[in-house]
Amino acid sequence: MFNTFRSTIRRPLFVFFTVLLTAVVTIFPIVSSAQEQKPLRIAIKQETGNLDLLQNVSALSTYSLVFDPLIRYGENGQLEPALATSWEVSEDGTKLSFNLRQDVAFSDGTPFNANTARWNLERWMGKPEFAWIGISDAMQSIETTGMYELTINLSRPVPAALYELTIIRPVRFLSPNAVDAEGRQTAPVGTGPWVVTENNNSRTLLTRNNNYWGSKPSFSSMELKVVPDELARSNGLRSGDLDIIGGDWVSPLSPRRARTMQRDPNVAVVAEPGTTSILLTFSPKSPLLQDQRVREAIDLSIERNAIVAIIYEGFATPTTNLFPTVIPFSGDRVVLPQRDVKSARSKLEQAGWKRSGNQWLKDGKVLELELMVSEEALPGSRRLAEMIQGQLSETGIKVRVSSVDNATIHDRRPVFQYDLTFMATYGAPYDPHGTLANLLLSGVDSGPDGKIYTNPELDVVVQSALNAQGDERIIKMQAIYNWLNANMAVSPLVSPKRLWAYNRRVGNFQLPATDYQMPGTDVTLSE
């Protein structure tokens, strides 16, 4: 009876400890799994959108997570293999041949090959709405010469064709099964390292594409959280609700905020040379700026080093060059001029202006210029304008800063309804050809972007450079920069640095080659 009693007691105890042990073993893997699956959280300033490759409605940076290009834009403009492993351009520049990567599939399982590549390219090449892309405008035919061999035939050489194939939209590749009967995209299905699993106006959730052909991310999911306010983004990074913020096109980090965050031991700030330039531009229709000597007086009145120190907190490089050195074919470096108020006043006198107190008069008119800015179009432009206003006032040039909204500046800039304004070059991978063609050629419709400057003589110089091939390109590109400098057509001010910040959870943080791409795929995560 005693043995029976002990056996009766032991059985419930055995069951109890077995259940407890099973629970412990089960719980810990769940906790571990939950930790492993905690996504990388990146702030984005606006919702991702539907990622339609043919529509200009979605945030550019997210495309790079889902869709691959034929050729990838690398550091300092180096062209690197992506879905194309190699390529060849014919001697006359009218035939581009590609060897495609094998054993690649879209995330829905559809094979990638020459036929699916051709189908993708024919969705936009040769279409009028994409004529702004040279390779599209010149496309004559596309041939599939093998299962993984593709040739694009052009009606004329397009020297920038390979660079154009690195841009984000529309040139990347979509699964043919992700369109409806009319050919409209129904889902963002690419060959990239990430797959969109949730997408709304507050966040985009992506999971790792475990069948990705390239180097796979070390973590399984990524969350892009919509946080429009910069202060909220920086607070979210400090609190641990966000892991990465920054980038002009992702979630801008102002120089002032970046400098403050550098003092936080739990945050790392990355400041690397940028690919854009901030320009002070002159309206070619402004009566007060027709005389080149007035434009020269303005340029001589500007202290770029002070702009870098005060407005950009040191996170910029002063420049008088249209493009920073990281841009291919950016030309010879122009020596940064010293600010010279005396010489600026002399230029105005040569132009027929008479000094009267702290202002200049000519034909009964005061030299007073409108500097149009928009904080929406260029964050920080109001402070920059006020600083230039102060610098020009020491020469006696009056400046009225006019702050407008995003819609207004995009209405007024294309018709040159201002005296002065700020513009930015497009940056990699679009430059130099993007800025030169769209923002300088008068015959190209640049839409709401407007123009840096237009002149019939400049049109000839730019068009000649854009059509040049081989070593001639360097010479003819330099001719553009020489013309702009000789005619004081624009005053480049600074090349801002690329600013990002991340918390201690992130390791191996590296910026992609352009700000139109999303960082983070190569990072490691810890809890």
Checking if the pLDDT of 194 tops 90, the result is: yes
> What pLDDT was estimated at residue 132?
86
Residues 517 and 436 grouped into a single domain: no
Pairwise CA distance, residues 325 & 333, whole Å: 8
Checking if the pLDDT of 43 tops 70, the result is: yes
Is 63 a member of any domain?
no
How is 288-335 classified by DSSP, letter by letter? Answer: GG-SHHHHHHHHHT--HHHHHHHTSTT-EEE-SSSS-TTSTT--SPPP
Q: What percentage of the chain carries pLDDT values higher than 70?
A: 93
Instruction: Summarize the confidence of residues 479-504 as an average pLDDT.
Output: 97
Of 20-24, 447-451, 491-495, 509-513, which one has max mean pLDDT?
491-495
Residues 364 and 391 grouped into a single domain: yes
> What pLDDT was estimated at residue 22?
43
> What pLDDT was estimated at residue 10?
40
Residues 423 and 518 grouped into a single domain: no
Residues 247 and 283 grouped into a single domain: no
> What pLDDT was estimated at residue 175?
98
Pairwise CA distance, residues 185 & 355, whole Å: 63
Residues 313 and 341 grouped into a single domain: yes
Is 15 a member of any domain?
no
> What pLDDT was estimated at residue 37?
53
Is 130 a member of any domain?
yes
Is 137 a member of any domain?
yes
Pairwise CA distance, residues 168 & 526, whole Å: 30
Full residue range of the structural domain in which residue 261 is found: 194-272+498-525
Residues 339 and 382 grouped into a single domain: yes
Residues 366 and 487 grouped into a single domain: yes
> What pLDDT was estimated at residue 57?
86
> What pLDDT was estimated at residue 527?
74
Q: What percentage of the chain carries pLDDT values higher than 90?
A: 86
Checking if the pLDDT of 16 tops 60, the result is: no
pLDDT digits 0-9 by tens, 351-364: 999 999 889 999 99
Checking if the pLDDT of 5 tops 50, the result is: no
Q: How confident is the model at residue 18 (pLDDT cuts 50, 70, 90)?
A: very low
Residues 446 and 323 grouped into a single domain: yes
CATH of the domain at 87: 3.40.190.10
Torsion of CA 252, 223, 429, 108, to 10 degrees: -160
> What pLDDT was estimated at residue 117?
98
> What pLDDT was estimated at residue 238?
95
Q: How confident is the model at residue 307 (pLDDT cuts 50, 70, 90)?
A: very high
Pairwise CA distance, residues 78 & 72, whole Å: 8
Residues 75 and 105 grouped into a single domain: yes
The neighbour count for residue 196, using CB atoms within 10 Å, is 21
Is 502 a member of any domain?
yes
Residues 119 and 204 grouped into a single domain: no
Residues 241 and 286 grouped into a single domain: no
Give the total number of structural domains in the chain.
Answer: 3
Chain mean pLDDT for the chain: 91
> What pLDDT was estimated at residue 56?
87
Checking if the pLDDT of 74 tops 90, the result is: yes
Residues 147 and 209 grouped into a single domain: no
pLDDT digits 0-9 by tens, 238-283: 999 999 999 988 999 999 999 999 999 999 999 999 999 999 999 9
Is 397 a member of any domain?
yes
Is 76 a member of any domain?
yes
Is 53 a member of any domain?
no
Q: How confident is the model at residue 8 (pLDDT cuts 50, 70, 90)?
A: very low
CATH of the domain at 430: 3.10.105.10
How is 85-142 classified by DSSP, letter by letter? Answer: EEEEE-TTS-EEEEEEPSS-B-TTSPBPSHHHHHHHHHTTTT-GGGTTSHHHHTEEEE
Pairwise CA distance, residues 484 & 458, whole Å: 8
pLDDT digits 0-9 by tens, 198-213: 999 999 999 999 999 9
Checking if the pLDDT of 124 tops 70, the result is: yes
> In terms of Cα–Cα distance, which of 5, 10, 160 is closest to 476?
160
> What pLDDT was estimated at residue 106?
98
Would you say the pTM of this structure is higher than 0.75? yes
